[in-house]
Structure 1
């Protein structure tokens, strides 16, 4: 039979590899002569982020420390005057019946770190009556504090819920008597000059290091009865609730965003 013998598979593979190599070399050569391919063209040197020291076990260097265990100078009673809660052993504990406390300083957008502990003794109480308190952002929007370890209740009222609005993604609660933490990113609502809502508040929460609220949109102020709604307001204090339970807090700091 006359004609050329077909090339072997090895020859065909080698030929394709040679073509690819040649193409890559040609592309590299073209890039070497293309000034827009200079990697420095995509390097941003400004603005330079400010340095924030993050010592282990302490607040970041740019944080506003609201409670470090030494006293309640940064807080006041919701009725005005000195905060009436008990400070001992590096923690502040609700005095049932004394009403809530709030920061003297007002805040809008913040990163908040707060640690809390529900009472170790739970005999005879369950549901919303067990270790109940709350962290209110801008004094109006509640991140629920509750002993939700083996304690069924309505899910939009359990720990790490946005009370009566948003159920947490998971239940990351520790047993009563153990310290827990919330890491919060809070974006305040925006209002127009005329008082209309331009953008609702949003919140991200990590409960004991676990994501439980993921950029959740806040429907309005926290209400026990009826639907939430918005009314125009500015920056406002952080408020801790007295709900007739000896809940303790410690290591509270914020970074203004």
Structure 2
């Protein structure tokens, strides 16, 4: 029997699409690679220059003065990341930082840069992340001429959604994230009523358009929602690379 290319592609897509559901139902142990994909590759673009100052109703999380809005994510102690001028840099190996205050629906702004001296490749190069509610990660990575799985590159919703385009600037240059987040809703029986949603602008370019998350972002396995508090901390990740940050602020959306 002759099978057309179109039919083969449709059949293949059906098989691939069915794997996560089957794996979830059967609770099969999966390696990390099972949830990574490399195609399609987001096209590379050149972002415009943009400077964003906090609006009057913003809560300033970091303006260069101190880290009083944060604690160490491991033990709740004072963070030991490095501050020089108005720039905050990860102190590798000391652990991530998280906000003392909890947040739900929000507009979050932060600026980041990967080290100007390029070391490593793939996920080992300029890696960090902003993890909203300590569960939903927007990836930070040096994705300037650096190949990795596309749902793990800069501005991806980690292991779920690659960015629409790659707007990452060269190592040592500042990137901006403007993130609009709608928290998931659960009923009194802890049943999901509506999923979390994320919109992300990377250097002023829309790269995630009201994406509905399938659950918390996971390094290994299939995401699943579990009921949690309406508001939780914002976590900035220590992934072993000296990524720098500045101008971090948030607006609560009530």
Length-normalised TM-score, structure 1: 0.77
5 Å matches for 1:51-130? 58-78=53-73, 79-123=75-119, 125-130=120-125
- Mapped pair 1:146 → 2:158: no
The corresponding residue for 2:174 is 179
* Bigger radius of gyration: 1
CA–CA distance in 2 between the matches of 1:140 and 1:130? 22
Give distance in 2, aligned partners of 1:185 and 1:72.
23
Show structure 2 runs of 5+ residues with no match: 1-50
Q: Which moved more, 1:82-91 or 1:242-251?
A: 82-91
Task: Say which of 240, 245, 248 aligns to 1:249.
Answer: 245
1:214 maps onto 2:214 in alignment:
no
Q: Residue 11 of structure 2 aligns with which residue? A: none
Partner residue of 2:163?
168
1:227 maps to what in 2? 222
Structure 1 runs of 4+ aligned residues shifted over 2 Å read none
1:58 CA displacement: 2.8
Could you tell me how far 1:191 is from its partner in structure 2?
Answer: 0.4
Over the aligned positions, Cα root-mean-square deviation in angstroms equals: 0.9
The size of the alignment, in residue pairs, is 201
Q: Give the TM-score of the pair, scaled to structure 2.
A: 0.78
1:57 Cα offset (Å): 5.2
